Chain A
Amino acid sequence: MAKFLLLAFRNVFRNRRRTMMTLLMVGGGVAGLLLVGGFFGSMYDGIRESTISGGLGHLQIFTAEHFRRDEVRVLDTGIDNWRQVAARVQTGNHVRGVAPRIDFYGLVSNGYKSSMFMGSAVDPAAEKSLGFSSHVETGRDLDGKPDGEVEALVGADLAKSMGVKVGDGLTLLTTTTDGAINGIDVQIVGIVKTGWSEVDARYLRITLTSAQRLLATDRVTNLVVGLDATRNTDAVYAQLLPNLKGQGQELTLKKWIDLATAYKQIRGLFNTIFVFIGIIVFFMVLMSSVNTLLMTMFERTREIGTMLAMGTPRIWIIALFMLEATLIGILGAALGVGGGDLLGVLLNHAHVHLPPPPGTTVPMTFRVLLVPGLMIGASIMAVISLALASILPAIRASRLQIAEALAHV
């Protein structure tokens, strides 16, 4: 077996130039997949962390009722005793903090024009402690001081539509939890870009206390839990879930991934693109390798005839060709992993910037993640591709007519 392996290995380097070309082709395919996959991986990580730090948090607590039915009135499925729940959650391992939120909606008016808004009310101190940041383009974030004017952050597109800027006033109109109409004057302290233009056209944020006063309630929609690291999400979820029982209301816990619809859609789309690219690379390597291996077979016709004449079982000839192709696949994959990783590191150091993705407004940096799973997967793909490519030449070699093969020039 060792001699057979040695024969295969030496045959691989028999025609060095051709082997090098094949290795470059296989390596190029693997490196390409690593770069594309690594870039997608980096993009997923970036979107995930920006989604979480943008306010989604790692976990969110709602009433179970919130997911069973639509609200008839604002906050009628909200959490009552949220302060006790937050205090209890806060003591858990890996928990950095808990931020209460209210989601509400209504009309915003500048005196002569009205528009819909989707409001979010937050406790600025809690948000800040969790590192949740609003992408304030101009002005400043909410400071949460109880006295003075009611402060508001407004989405850039909403501000543009309403013709307002930092320092201007707006009036918010909404229905309270009792169904009554209520209004409040707010002063714009900052213009925000969320990265999603559809959101920016409706975005409005005020403090939690202002919203509770506007909506005439002490409830909140949900509690956002921030952790020390995203990787701890599952562990904290398992730890918190039983602690939420016996809180009066039936509460439920959601992981960030359950709520990050856009993230999942993006990931699904790019995973499909990656699989498509992978299939193309697979077939490119396969087809060009078939050609190369057939050429090798024709060149070695007389040698194969000699081996068969000496009584070599035909299955050995098949095994030899497949082994040689597999070796090329392994070497090509190693070259691709090395080259792809090196190129990835160089590109990461080059700090290449890309235009904002469709639907977003924030430019992204081209980064490539070095993902071991991807390296293994791409390498396996290359080896399988070469092994499959060798089947036809191997079978043809094994079926050669010995006398004709020996007379081959």
Chain B
Amino acid sequence: MNNTDTLVRVEAVSRRFPLDNSPGRPAGSTFVSALNNASLRVEAGEFLAISGPSGSGKSTLLNLIGGIDQPSSGRIFIDGVETSGLKVKAQATLRREKIGFVFQTFNLIPVFTAAENVEYPLLVQGVPSSERRRRVAEALEDVGLSARAQQRPDLLSGGERQRVAVARAIVHRPALVLADEPTANLDTRNATQLIDLMRDLNLRLGLTFLFSTHDARLLQHTPRIVRLCDGEIVDDSVESAANSNEGGRHGEVSAACLS
């Protein structure tokens, strides 16, 4: 694998959280390990799922890659820049310019319309208003929500909200889109549509998608799956989605993890 195409490099990263209320021990002296010595490479243009049961460390790994949490040890590189050593301001700049986020609970700004929510990352980047308008229209068209542009989130369905969140994540054409359990709050139909949409954006626009899920439906459309169990990467398989039975494999790994 050529290093120049590597967008994300995770090197022996661990994340431990202090337990403040451990009985009989001083505060901060005990830890729970959410991620343990994880290493991973993601190439530009990949569509990669991080899979595993609840509590396996999927969200922690995504948070660390996204620079919204700091590893206890190890190093993370985004586009060749070591993020774990960056100052708060530089991390914000990196997130602003290179990463798009999609959250499980959509996390749209409720007082903004769909278009204004999509516009927000461009606003933060200081993009001129005419350019913002054009790119927002494009992004909403990409997710098929042009007609709902002026609706506020409370008037949109769950599926539509998540599509707005996807449009918000891609509007500034980030190098990497991180999606934490994007289908967890969606019904089967909306989940499938969202997966198709993300895969389409990946193929059509060349955007790199890295998402966490334990949804077998999503895994069936995913060419590469990294499996986590108890904070450790236990499997990293690259297969043709059409030829694999990822739902079954996911079930096997999950069962093994739980046993």
Q: Residue on B with the closest CB to A407?
A: B59
Q: Residue on B with the closest CB to A303?
A: B109
User: Are A316 and B69 in contact, with the CB atoms below 8 A?
Assistant: no
Contacts of A311 in B (CB 8 A): 92-97, 99, 121, 124-125
CA distance A305 to B105 in the complex (A): 13
User: Are B96 and A303 in contact, with the CB atoms below 8 A?
Assistant: no
A94 within 8 A of B: no
Choose among A3, A11, A313 the residue that contacts B89 (Cβ–Cβ < 8 A): A313
Residues facing A in B63-93 (CB within 8 A) are: 63, 66, 68-69, 88-89, 92-93
User: Are A3 and B116 in contact, with the CB atoms below 8 A?
Assistant: yes
CA distance A311 to B125 in the complex (A): 9
User: Are B107 and A306 in contact, with the CB atoms below 8 A?
Assistant: yes
Q: Residue on B with the closest CB to A13?
A: B111
Choose among B92, B94, B103, B119 the residue that contacts A308 (Cβ–Cβ < 8 A): B92
Contacts of B105 in A (CB 8 A): 302
User: Are B68 and A309 in contact, with the CB atoms below 8 A?
Assistant: yes
CA distance A402 to B95 in the complex (A): 12
Residues facing B in A1-39 (CB within 8 A) are: 3-4, 7, 10-11, 14
Residues facing B in A371-409 (CB within 8 A) are: 401-403, 406
Contacts of A313 in B (CB 8 A): 89, 92, 124
Choose among B97, B111, B124 the residue that contacts A316 (Cβ–Cβ < 8 A): B124
CA distance A149 to B88 in the complex (A): 97
- What's the nearest-Cβ distance from chain A to residue B239, in Å? 31
Choose among B63, B88, B120 the residue that contacts A310 (Cβ–Cβ < 8 A): B120
Contacts of B68 in A (CB 8 A): 308-309, 402-403, 406
The majority secondary structure among interface residues of chain A is helix
B101 within 8 A of A: yes
Q: Interface residue count for B (Cβ, 8 Å)?
A: 29
B123 within 8 A of A: yes
User: Are A7 and B96 in contact, with the CB atoms below 8 A?
Assistant: no
Q: Residue on A with the closest CB to B180?
A: A406
User: Are B101 and A7 in contact, with the CB atoms below 8 A?
Assistant: no
- What's the nearest-Cβ distance from chain A to residue B169, in Å? 9
A239 within 8 A of B: no
- What's the nearest-Cβ distance from chain A to residue B248, in Å? 31
User: Are A309 and B101 in contact, with the CB atoms below 8 A?
Assistant: yes
Contacts A309-B66, A309-B95, A311-B97 given: A14-B111 contact, CB under 8 Å? yes
Other CB < 8 Å A-B pairs besides A14-B110, A310-B95, A310-B96, 19 of them? A3-B119, A3-B123, A7-B109, A302-B105, A302-B107, A306-B103, A306-B107, A307-B109, A307-B120, A309-B66, A309-B68, A311-B93, A313-B124, A402-B63, A402-B68, A402-B69, A403-B68, A403-B69, A406-B107
* 18 CB-based A-B contacts, threshold 8 Å: A3-B119, A7-B109, A10-B111, A11-B111, A14-B111, A303-B107, A306-B103, A307-B109, A308-B68, A310-B120, A310-B124, A310-B168, A311-B93, A311-B99, A311-B121, A313-B124, A403-B63, A406-B63
Residues of B within 8 A of A (CB): 63, 66, 68-69, 88-89, 92-97, 99, 101, 103, 105, 107, 109-112, 116, 119-121, 123-125, 168
CB-CB nearest 8 A-B residue pairs: A311-B96, A10-B111, A402-B68, A306-B107, A403-B69, A311-B95, A403-B63, A311-B92
